[in-house]
Each structure stands twice: as structure tokens, then as C-alpha cells.
């Protein structure tokens, strides 16, 4: 399973990259707006920090404009993956961009059939939003399992990129379902690395070693 980090904060990206866990980055207009900086400048800096896919989202609402924006974003860096929304106009743009050799991440997927439609249109990544589904009383991770199974049934090269992950449990279940990628907020990425028994065990080992007064 690949881990992407879901942020536009370059400090979080650089820190997580030192842990060896960052295979890529996902951003969206909301995350980049929080930086208070120009969209293109943020994306270029992220691409320089991480040698992996960097998702950058279009903000147009019509296919022709999405295509124009997507091509402009793709020219910023070879690692840019264009994010298009899971709407009819977004699927039109996805088909056009993929036909031009541009990788596309179809975002805001909330059903397995939406994911199937995006895969048929040439998407590289399909992004189901599990946390938002949970918010309305649905089982987001169960939908991930359905989507993974559908892709296994056919020859679509698309990968399931699980988004809107709120907890380590979301990540655990996504991994059990066989999702190809998970994009994690910085906080969740930190959470998965810690366990109280690990901390207690390390402290015990070090205390016993200090008691010997030896050096390595």
C-alpha cells in the first residue's frame, strides 16, 4: 500500500518525508488556500520536496475549462496528477486528459459505480471519501472493498486512493480491503507510528541498559 500525505503544508510534507512514509501528496483548493500562497508556487515546491504523484485539483465547472486547467497544471511538473470531480463534466475532462497522457485522480467518489464510471473514463486514481460517508451514516470502508473488488473483476488500471481518512482504524480497514493507496492527514500519519506499549517497552530497555553503566 502506498501512503500519500493529504496536505499543502510544506513543513508537514518535508517532516513526514524524513520518516520514509511519503509516496505522494494530495492537495485540494481548500488546503492550498490555507497557505495564503499562489497555487502554482505551492505545487512546484511540493513537487521538489517529494518525488511521487502530487494531486492538483481543477476549479472549473465545465469540461472544456477543466481540460485547459488540467493541461496547465500538468505542465508545472512531471509528477502532477490532475484532480477532476466525479461529475459528468469532470468525467468528460478525465477522458480528454487521459487521452492526452495526463494522469487523473477522480475525486469526491461516494459509490462504487461512480468509481467504475471514472475507471472506464481512464482515471489513474479513484478517490472514495470514507470519512464523509461515515458522517452520513454509511460505511465508507465497505464501499472501498466493493470498489477494489470491481477493479479486480476487470482490466482497468485505475488504483483506489482512499481519502477523507480520519483515524488509524480507517487506514487499517482500507489496507485489509486491499486499497492501493491511502492519503493521510499529517496527524493520522503520526498516530499510526505510536503505541503506549512501544514507548513503555523502549523505556524499560533503556533503563536496564543504563543500569549496567556500559557503553556501545
Q: How far apart are CA 130 and CA 133, in angstroms?
A: 5
Q: How far apart are CA 105 and CA 126, in angstroms?
A: 6
Burial of 125 (0-12, 13-18, 19+ CB in 10 A): buried
Asked about 83 being catalytic, the answer comes back as: yes
Of the candidates 2, 83, 190, 215, the residue annotated as catalytic is 83
Task: Count CB neighbours of 150 within 10 A.
Answer: 18
Burial of 216 (0-12, 13-18, 19+ CB in 10 A): exposed
Q: SS3 for 147?
A: helix
Best CA proximity match to 77, nearest among 46, 104, 106: 46
Which residues carry out catalysis?
83
Amino acid at each position: 500500500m502506498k501512503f500519500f500525505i493529504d496536505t499543502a503544508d510544506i513543513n508537514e510534507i518535508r517532516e513526514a518525508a524524513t520518516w520514509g512514509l511519503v509516496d505522494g501528496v494530495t492537495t485540494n483548493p481548500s488546503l492550498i488556500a490555507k497557505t495564503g500562497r499562489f497555487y502554482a508556487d505551492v505545487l512546484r515546491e511540493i513537487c521538489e520536496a517529494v518525488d511521487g504523484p502530487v494531486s492538483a485539483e481543477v476549479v472549473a465547472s465545465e469540461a472544456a475549462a477543466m481540460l485547459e486547467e488540467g493541461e496547465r497544471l500538468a505542465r508545472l511538473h512531471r509528477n502532477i496528477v490532475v484532480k477532476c470531480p466525479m461529475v459528468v463534466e469532470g468525467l468528460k475532462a478525465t477522458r480528454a486528459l487521459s487521452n492526452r497522457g495526463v494522469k487523473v485522480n477522480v475525486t469526491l467518489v461516494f459509490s462504487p459505480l461512480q468509481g467504475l464510471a471514472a475507471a472506464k473514463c481512464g482515471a489513474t486514481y479513484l478517490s472514495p471519501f470514507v470519512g464523509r460517508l461515515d458522517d452520513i451514516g454509511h460505511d465508507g470502508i465497505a464501499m472501498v472493498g466493493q470498489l477494489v473488488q470491481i477493479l479486480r473483476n476487470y482490466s482497468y488500471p485505475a488504483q483506489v486512493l482512499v481519502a477523507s481518512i480520519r483515524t488509524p482504524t480507517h487506514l487499517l480497514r482500507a489496507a485489509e480491503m486491499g486499497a492501493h493507496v491511502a492519503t493521510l492527514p499529517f496527524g493520522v500519519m503520526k498516530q499510526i507510528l505510536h503505541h503506549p506499549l512501544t514507548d513503555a517497552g523502549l523505556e524499560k530497555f533503556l533503563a536496564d541498559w543504563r543500569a549496567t553503566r556500559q557503553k556501545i
